[in-house]
Chains A and B, each alone.
Chain A
Amino acid sequence: MTLRILAIDDSLTIRTLLRQAVENAGFACATANDGKDGVEMFSEVDPDVVITDINMPRLDGFGVIEAIRTGTHNTRVPILVLSTESGEALKARARAAGATGWLVKPFEDLQLIAILRRVTGYAGPGHSERGQA
Chain B
Amino acid sequence: MSMQSIRDTFFEECEDLLEALAEGLARMETGEADSECLNAVFRAVHSIKGGAGAFALSDLVAFAHRFETVLDEIRSDRLDLSDEVMHVLLRSADHLADQVEAAREERSIDEEVTAAFLVNLGTCLGDAGFEAPAADEDFGFSAITLDFGASPGLPAFELPDLGFAGPEFPVTDHPRPDLSHPDPRTSGSGATAAPALADLTPDKKTSAPRHRIRFIPWPQFYSNGHDPLVLITSLAAPGELEIRPDLSSLPEFAEFDPAKPCLAWDILVASHLPEATVEAHFEFVRGLCELSVAPEITPAPAPENPAVALPWPAPLPEPLVEPLTIQSRAPEPEQVVISPPAGPPPDAVIETSALPPEKDTPRDATGEGAGALLRRRLPKSEDDAEGRGPKPTLRVDLERVDRLINAVGELIINQAMIEQSVTDLSLPADTEIISHTEDYRLLARDLQEAVMAIRAQPVKPLFQRMSRIVREAAEATGKPAHLVTIGESTEVDKTVVERLADPLTHMIRNAVDHGLESAAARVAAGKDPEGTIRLSAAHRSGSVIITISDDGGGLDRNRILAKAISRGLVAEGAELSDAEIDNLLFLPGFSTAEKISNLSGRGVGLDVVKNAVGALGGRIAISSTLGSGSEFTISLPLTLAVMDGMVISVAGQTMVIPIASVIETIRPTAADLHLLGTSDRLLSIRGRFLPMIDVAECLGFGRRDPAQASLALLVETDAQAHCALMVDAVLDQRQVVIKGLDSNYGAIPGVSAATVLGDGQIALILDTEALTSNMSGLINGRNGANYLPPAAGATAAPASQSFQPLAARAQALPQPQTGAPHAIH
Contacts and interface: CB of A to CB of B under 8 A. Distances in A.
Report, as a range, how many residues of chain A touch the other chain.
Answer: 35 or more
A24 B143 CA distance: 19
A130 B192 CA distance: 9
Interface in A85-119: 85-88, 91-92, 94-95, 98-108, 110-112, 114-115, 117-119
A118 B234 contact: yes
A27 B343 contact: yes
B817 to A, nearest CB: 48
B308 A129 contact: yes
B424 interface: no
A101 B227 CA distance: 12
A110 B143 CA distance: 11
Contact of A125 (B46, B343, B366): B343
Contact of B224 (A100, A104, A111): A100
Interface residues of B, number: 92
Interface in A1-31: 1-4, 10-17, 19-20, 23, 25-31
B11 to A, nearest CB: 9
B144 A133 contact: no
B379 interface: yes
Contact of B146 (A69, A88, A95, A115): A115
B385 interface: yes
Contact of B186 (A29, A106, A122): A122
A91 B283 CA distance: 12
Contacts of A104: 141, 144-145, 147
A77 B225 contact: yes
A30 B379 CA distance: 6
Nearest to A91: B149
B195 A29 contact: no
Interface string B196-223: 1001000000000000000000001011
A118 B185 CA distance: 13
Given A1-B183, A95-B287, A103-B147, A121 B319 contact: yes
B318 interface: yes
B463 interface: no
B50 A76 contact: no
A30 to B, nearest CB: 5
**Dominant SS at the B interface?**
loop
B407 to A, nearest CB: 31
B284 A118 contact: no
Interface in B363-384: 364, 366, 368, 374, 376, 378-379, 382
A102 B148 contact: yes
Contact of B6 (A13, A33, A103): A13
Nearest to A24: B343
A24 B261 CA distance: 37
A112 B54 CA distance: 13
B314 to A, nearest CB: 12
B311 interface: yes
Name the residue in A56, A69, A72, A78 with the highest tally of chain B Cβ atoms < 10 Å from its Cβ. A78
A128 B524 CA distance: 81
A60 B783 CA distance: 60
Contact of A28 (B319, B341, B343): B343
Interface string B291-319: 00000000000000000100110001011
B311 A16 contact: no
Contacts of B6: 13, 16-17, 20
B155 interface: no
B684 interface: no
A23 B346 contact: yes
A74 to B, nearest CB: 6
A122 B188 CA distance: 7
Contacts of B341: 125
Interface string B686-721: 000000000000000000000000000000000000
B54 A31 contact: no
A72 B320 contact: no
B146 A23 contact: no
A65 B185 CA distance: 22
A120 B311 CA distance: 17
B230 A118 contact: yes
A105 B738 CA distance: 51
Contact of A48 (B40, B46, B185, B220): B185
Contacts of B147: 86, 91, 101-104
B109 to A, nearest CB: 20
B224 A118 contact: no
A62 B320 CA distance: 32
B9 interface: yes
A79 B343 contact: no
A105 B141 contact: yes
A85 B293 CA distance: 29
B18 to A, nearest CB: 13
Given A1-B336, A26-B343, A14 B151 contact: no
A114 to B, nearest CB: 5
Contacts of A48: 185-187
A84 B46 CA distance: 8
Contact of B184 (A1, A29, A46): A1
B311 to A, nearest CB: 6
A38 B5 CA distance: 25
Nearest to A3: B186
A69 B224 CA distance: 8
B39 interface: yes
A79 B226 CA distance: 9
B27 interface: no
A25 B386 contact: no
A124 B230 contact: no
Nearest to B378: A30
B49 interface: yes
Contacts of B311: 110, 114, 128
B312 A111 contact: yes
A106 B138 contact: no
A110 to B, nearest CB: 7
B316 A121 contact: no
Given A46-B376, A92-B151, A74 B359 contact: yes
Given A1-B185, A29-B346, A112-B144, A101 B382 contact: no
Interface of A: 1-4, 10-17, 19-20, 23, 25-34, 37, 40-41, 44-46, 48-49, 53, 55-57, 69, 72-79, 84-88, 91-92, 94-95, 98-108, 110-112, 114-115, 117-130, 132-133
**10 closest A-B pairs (Cβ-Cβ)?**
A121-B189, A26-B343, A48-B186, A120-B186, A121-B230, A107-B144, A1-B185, A100-B225, A13-B51, A78-B225
9 contacts: A1-B336, A14-B47, A56-B43, A57-B39, A75-B364, A78-B225, A95-B287, A120-B230, A126-B342
